[in-house]
Amino acid sequence: MRTDRRKCALIIDDAAINREILKEILKDEMDILEAADGSTGLETLKDNLEDIDIVLLDLIMPGVLDGFGVLSEMTREHITDYVPVIMISSESDTGSMERAYDLGALDYITRPYAERIVRRRVLTTVDLYQKQRELAANIDRQYKADANAVDALTGLTYKQHFFNLADTRLKNGKFANLWMIAMDIDHFKLFNSYYAWEAGDLYLKQIGDCLQKTVQQYGGIAGYLGGDDFVLLCPGHDRILDEINRCATQLLEDNSFEMSFTPKYGVYELNASDNSARETYDKAAIALETIKGNYTKNRAVYDSEMVRKAKDEIHLLKQIQKGIHEGEFTFYLQPKVDMESGQIIGAEALARWNHEGKVLTPEVFVPILERNGFVATLDREIWKQVAIWLRKRLDEENIPITVSINVSKVDIYTMNVAAYLKELTQTYDLPTQLLEVEISEAAFTRDSDKLHEALSLLHEYGFSVCMDDFGQGYSSLNSLRSSDIDSLKVDAYFLNHTEENLSKSVNILKSILDMAGQLKLPVILEGIENQEQAKMLQQIGCTYAQGYYYGKPVPVEEMEKILEDLSKISLSGIHCSDPQGHKIRELLQSDLLTDEIIQKIFGAVFFLHQDAEGARVTWSMKDYYKKSSLSDLVELNSARPLSARVAKEDEDRLYQFLACAMEQKKDGVMDTFDFPLSDGSSRKVLLKLFYLRSTIKEKIFFGAMMDLGKIKDYLQE
């Protein structure tokens, strides 16, 4: 049973409501597959045998194959040797339960479901079954390997025999300048998910060959401890590890394997007081644990402080996991703005932990979750909360803003991010344009099929992708050119230098902006803390920004208050200006524009004239509005002007709105108004207006309108 992925349960039950209840109970812990009858369930099981960890089986089902038939077939084909079965039954159905036990079922759960009991029984069964099979496999392998003290796959000294040989060397006093090295392969638990099991065995064998050559050249003992764990007792020289690492990297390249599967090394430097090989290995293994999940470091040397830190981390990890399950984690929003207008173009969702009366930032918990393989659990929770918040804004007919969510390298390599986000937007009926994916530049360190596949699917499903932390020193220009991304985010840490280096920093930023412009990639500068930085960045051509100067991360309730002022919101989104800098006036004066092109360019534009009788629409893009729910509001020959159609309580506010537009000529004004319908209901309409000019008789405006009840349709257009 593999432990390299999120667990998966198959629910076979003809009652949809029962499947839905079980799915709701288990969804935070496991992926769920469903089948409504025995035949479909058995087919699903066989098609996904390597991925399914447990079957929840209703015994009594209509159709050709009931639960007993499914169980009989699983037993006949020895599937129950690999996948445990928990039966679903009623308390009184003891006869059916006894028959199911005889056919190979391990446990039962009864309806109505007790959530805690169901979750505990399912997870405990999966865990025990997995440990039982691993124990059997280890005993079998150790029996075979210990028979000749050499592992048949890797050719290395196996387990206890390695420690016996190492102890002999230590007892003979041969400990001077020796290292005990604990070695495992980063992310190897995922290896067999990407490649065939044979490929994993090949890689392990080749690593064994590499270590054999090392001890032949430098002396020492190399051992294999099972799984992806190797051990090496050798002279204490950095060049030995360097050569092993070069060998492993070459193996990955030669086999076209992902570069993520490189080894990591924990080193313990032996001294005269050491007399137990196992104890020295344990210390090397502790050092190894400190760098798991660290993408910038592949080796660590043991010191006594590591033991205390390891205990503290385990304690904190338990608190974090408990906090996730008990709803202590939430997200704050930090605005992204147009630097010229100061308007909000979107926001970034940043995780926060409300723990023991304090609000803790990601620096406290994310590294620990990444090192221990649990960061995806938190990320999914934050993404879900963001989706719920966006759905709430749409339901309340408020203008939504695009929210960017952070996706780590671990997420990319441990789950199908695109499929999960697609399911999330479908569940909450969200336009995909409202969720932007930010992926750290660290994920782009090497050309990765897995990453490119994720990017391709994200774009196929309609999500935009931003490369975060660009310029931190990992990726190359080639990765920019070959990666399918939509924008860059650059940290303004470039500017936090001494005065003498400031000009160099500015030149670097200019180069990044020029390069991004040629690649048609919009750039967001983050980390802007003061007005001086903002002015300097605008002078060199920066358009979009994020940082404390424009707004700190705030709770969603606070962001909602900020967004109540519609003048602070820009609906134009983020885009990259044409590097050739064509002026729109030149385009309008050309003879290239047809009515159809103008229609596509200007979309929802209309002109409004205000005179003594009111404010009336005098011209509009008829073809555009003809398809919308607002066609009646822009009728040119209507007996009632627009100002007479607004709700009575909004009429004075509309005239104030027009007066504000005259005062704010550059930025225009934006607000929502209610327009009654004939059936007694009303629709909420967003108006955006700009003042053009005045004559003796009237004032002239132009703008656009949007029915907020139909905002999803607008976003999809």
- Tens of pLDDT, residue by residue over 542-569, are 999 999 999 999 999 999 999 999 889 9
Q: Which helix (H) or strand (E) holds 334?
A: strand 329-338
- Backbone phi, psi, residue 450, to 5°: -65, -45
Structure tokens at 95: 């006869």
Query: Are β-strands 682-694 and 699-707 bridged in parallel, bridged antiparallel, or unpaired?
Result: antiparallel
**Mean pLDDT, residues 372-380:** 85
**What does pLDDT average to over the chain?**
83
CA dihedral 616, 618, 622, 627 (to 10 degrees): -10
Angle between helices 277-289 and 159-171 (to 10 degrees): 110
Where does CATH 3.40.50.2300 sit in the chain?
8-135
Asked whether residue 580 carries a pLDDT value surpassing 50, the answer given is: no
The tens digit of pLDDT for each residue in 385-406 reads 999 999 999 999 898 899 999 9
Where does CATH 3.30.450.20 sit in the chain?
588-716
Q: How confident is the model at residue 499 (pLDDT cuts 50, 70, 90)?
A: low
**Dist CA 132 CA 137 (whole Å):** 9
**Mean pLDDT, residues 674-688:** 89
Q: Which fold has domain 149-303?
A: Alpha-Beta Plaits (3.30.70)
Where does CATH 3.20.20.450 sit in the chain?
314-509
Q: How confident is the model at residue 192 (pLDDT cuts 50, 70, 90)?
A: low
Q: How confident is the model at residue 347 (pLDDT cuts 50, 70, 90)?
A: very high
Q: Which fold has domain 588-716?
A: Beta-Lactamase (3.30.450)
**Dist CA 420 CA 440 (whole Å):** 19
The tens digit of pLDDT for each residue in 121-151 reads 899 888 888 877 777 666 655 555 454 578 8
Coil, strand, or helix at residue 450?
helix
Burial class (CB in 10 A: 0-12, 13-18, 19+), 554: middle
- Any idea which of 216-225, 232-241, 385-394, 494-503 has the lowest mean pLDDT? 494-503
| Other residues' Cβ atoms within 10 Å of the Cβ of residue 669 | 22
**Mean pLDDT, residues 667-685:** 89
**Dist CA 74 CA 94 (whole Å):** 21
In terms of phi and psi (left: phi > 0; alpha: psi -120 to 50; beta: otherwise), the region of 547 is left
Q: Which helix (H) or strand (E) holds 20?
A: helix 16-26
**Mean pLDDT, residues 593-614:** 68
- What is the residue whose two structure tokens read 């070959």? 482
Where does CATH 3.30.70.270 sit in the chain?
149-303
Q: How far is CA 255 from CA 202, 224, 452, in A?
A: 9, 22, 19
Asked whether residue 209 carries a pLDDT value surpassing 90, the answer given is: yes
pLDDT for the residue 582:
40
| Other residues' Cβ atoms within 10 Å of the Cβ of residue 243 | 16
Asked whether residue 349 carries a pLDDT value surpassing 50, the answer given is: yes
Q: Which fold has domain 8-135?
A: Rossmann fold (3.40.50)
Its CATH class, for the domain covering 314-509, is alpha beta
pLDDT-above-70 percentage for the chain: 84
pLDDT for the residue 605:
81
- Any idea which of 18-32, 40-54, 398-412, 459-473 has the lowest mean pLDDT? 459-473
The tens digit of pLDDT for each residue in 305-341 reads 887 887 788 889 889 989 998 999 999 999 999 998 8
**Mean pLDDT, residues 181-210:** 81
Asked whether residue 290 carries a pLDDT value surpassing 50, the answer given is: yes
Which residues neighbour 631 within 8 Å (Cβ) at sequence distance 6 or greater? 625
Q: How confident is the model at residue 50 (pLDDT cuts 50, 70, 90)?
A: confident
pLDDT-above-90 percentage for the chain: 36
- Pick from 201, 218, 212: nearest CA to 157: 212
**Mean pLDDT, residues 437-441:** 87
Q: How far is CA 197 from CA 50, 192, 194, 255, 556, in A?
A: 11, 5, 9, 14, 46
**Dist CA 434 CA 439 (whole Å):** 16
- Name the residue with higher pLDDT: 147 or 655: 655
**Mean pLDDT, residues 8-21:** 90
pLDDT for the residue 334:
97
pLDDT for the residue 585:
40
| Other residues' Cβ atoms within 10 Å of the Cβ of residue 624 | 20
pLDDT for the residue 2:
47
Q: Which helix (H) or strand (E) holds 125?
A: helix 115-148
Amino acid letter, 15: A
**Dist CA 43 CA 22 (whole Å):** 21
Q: How far is CA 365 from CA 259, 295, 319, 415, in A?
A: 26, 17, 10, 20
pLDDT for the residue 141:
58
pLDDT for the residue 136:
65
| Other residues' Cβ atoms within 10 Å of the Cβ of residue 609 | 19
**Mean pLDDT, residues 421-448:** 85
Burial class (CB in 10 A: 0-12, 13-18, 19+), 176: exposed
Asked whether residue 581 carries a pLDDT value surpassing 70, the answer given is: no
Asked whether residue 77 carries a pLDDT value surpassing 90, the answer given is: no
pLDDT for the residue 556:
96
**Mean pLDDT, residues 465-482:** 65
Asked whether residue 18 carries a pLDDT value surpassing 90, the answer given is: no
